[in-house]
Amino acid sequence: MQTDLGTIVVVEDDPNIADLVDLYLRREGYRVLQAGDGEKGLELVSRERPRLVVLDVGLPGAVDGLEVCRRLRGTDGTGGGAATIPVVMLTARDGEVDRVLGLELGADDYITKPFSPRELVARVKAVLRRTDGPRPAGPDILAAGRVAVDTGRREASVDGVVVALAAREFDLLRYLAEHAGLALSRRQLLDGVWGPAWYGDDRTVDVHVRQLRKKLGDALPLATVWGVGYRLG
């Protein structure tokens, strides 16, 4: 099959798992590049600018998967323009702390080992549909307080200064801006942003809201509606 759907970087130290993921993604038409450690993964992402990164949490050495995600998102100033590249994390750790950490660092989805390769491919496609999907109807620029949400460029800015958001953070901000003034439940936000087939729980919304508030500060008029969810404006 032609590999014309773009590049995916797989950062996984277990060669058997990496080769399995590689095989299934190539069957779907993606070009796949592998890295066996965090440093190599960061180099590949910087050089290739892939459509998506599949990232193992438990990488060897000082640069594990969480550190790779942190650097990609640019929280230490070294993102190198990769802040908006979607990340799907693989983890053998099923604890809530690890899942929340990954989401707070900007991961767009996660899947726990052992996993079905077909499920992983489905998750990858779902994330790409959300991040690459058709632009919404209506104006390209949505106002959210002092935050401008450019749906065409997929950028958010405060007083004209662009703020780097992870792909899912931007999707959540856009959805809130498109429904400004309405109190939206966590379930509505999950269905609207993550899709009705999302396997996670309501805490996922809270984690991403916390990240939006952290990055956009008082410029974003995002209120908690107790017993319901959140309202923008």
User: Looking at the structure, do residues 119 and 159 belong to the same domain, yes or no?
Assistant: no
What is the structure's pLDDT at 79? 46
Q: Residue 97: exposed, middle, or buried by beta-carbon count in 10 A (0-12, 13-18, 19+)?
A: exposed
Instruction: Identify the band that residue 94 occupies on the pLDDT scale cut at 50, 70 and 90.
Output: low
b or e along 67-90 (b: 16 or more beta carbons within 10 Å of the residue's beta carbon)?
bbbbbbbbbeeebeebbbbbbbbb
- The first and second tokens of residue 51, run together, are 């459509």
Is the pTM of the predicted complex or chain greater than 0.85?
A: no
pLDDT in tens, 174-218: 999 988 888 889 888 988 888 876 666 778 899 999 999 999 999
What is the structure's pLDDT at 98? 66
Instruction: Identify the band that residue 23 occupies on the pLDDT scale cut at 50, 70 and 90.
Output: very high
Name the least confident of 1-5, 134-138, 169-173, 229-233.
Answer: 134-138
pLDDT mean over 6-24: 94
User: Looking at the structure, do residues 163 and 223 belong to the same domain, yes or no?
Assistant: yes
SS3 state at 225: strand
Name the least confident of 131-145, 152-166, 181-195.
Answer: 131-145
- The β-bridge partners of 169 are none
User: Looking at the structure, do residues 26 and 72 belong to the same domain, yes or no?
Assistant: yes
* Residue 145 structural domain: 141-232
What is the structure's pLDDT at 116? 86
- Whether 167 shows a pLDDT value over 70: the answer reads yes
User: Looking at the structure, do residues 181 and 221 belong to the same domain, yes or no?
Assistant: yes
- Domain count for the chain: 2
Q: Which of 110, 132, 154 is the last residue of a domain?
A: 132
Domain presence at residue 33: yes
What is the structure's pLDDT at 76? 45
SS3 state at 203: helix
- Whether 224 shows a pLDDT value over 90: the answer reads yes
Name the residue type at position 178: E
Give the sheet arrangement for strand 229-232, strand by strand. Answer: 184-185, 229-232, 222-225
Domain presence at residue 2: no
Instruction: Identify the band that residue 114 occupies on the pLDDT scale cut at 50, 70 and 90.
Output: confident
User: Looking at the structure, do residues 145 and 126 belong to the same domain, yes or no?
Assistant: no
Tell me the CATH number at 66: 3.40.50.2300
d(CA 49, CA 85) in angstroms, rounded, equals 8
User: Looking at the structure, do residues 17 and 79 belong to the same domain, yes or no?
Assistant: yes
pLDDT mean over 14-28: 92
Tell me the CATH number at 178: 1.10.10.10
The single-letter DSSP state of residue 191 is I
- The β-bridge partners of 143 are 148
b or e along 8-45 (b: 16 or more beta carbons within 10 Å of the residue's beta carbon)?
bbbbbbbeebbebbbebbeeeebbbbbbbbbbbbbebb
User: Looking at the structure, do residues 146 and 127 belong to the same domain, yes or no?
Assistant: no
d(CA 140, CA 36) in angstroms, rounded, equals 40
What is the structure's pLDDT at 160? 86
If one compares 114 and 19, the residue with the highest pLDDT of the two is 19
User: Looking at the structure, do residues 168 and 62 belong to the same domain, yes or no?
Assistant: no
What is the structure's pLDDT at 127? 85
What is the structure's pLDDT at 97? 67
Domain presence at residue 1: no
As a whole number, the mean pLDDT across the chain is 85
d(CA 198, CA 67) in angstroms, rounded, equals 25
pLDDT mean over 19-48: 93
Name the least confident of 22-26, 75-79, 149-153.
Answer: 75-79
Instruction: Identify the band that residue 100 occupies on the pLDDT scale cut at 50, 70 and 90.
Output: confident
Evaluate whether 55 touches 90 at the Cβ level (below 8 Å): yes
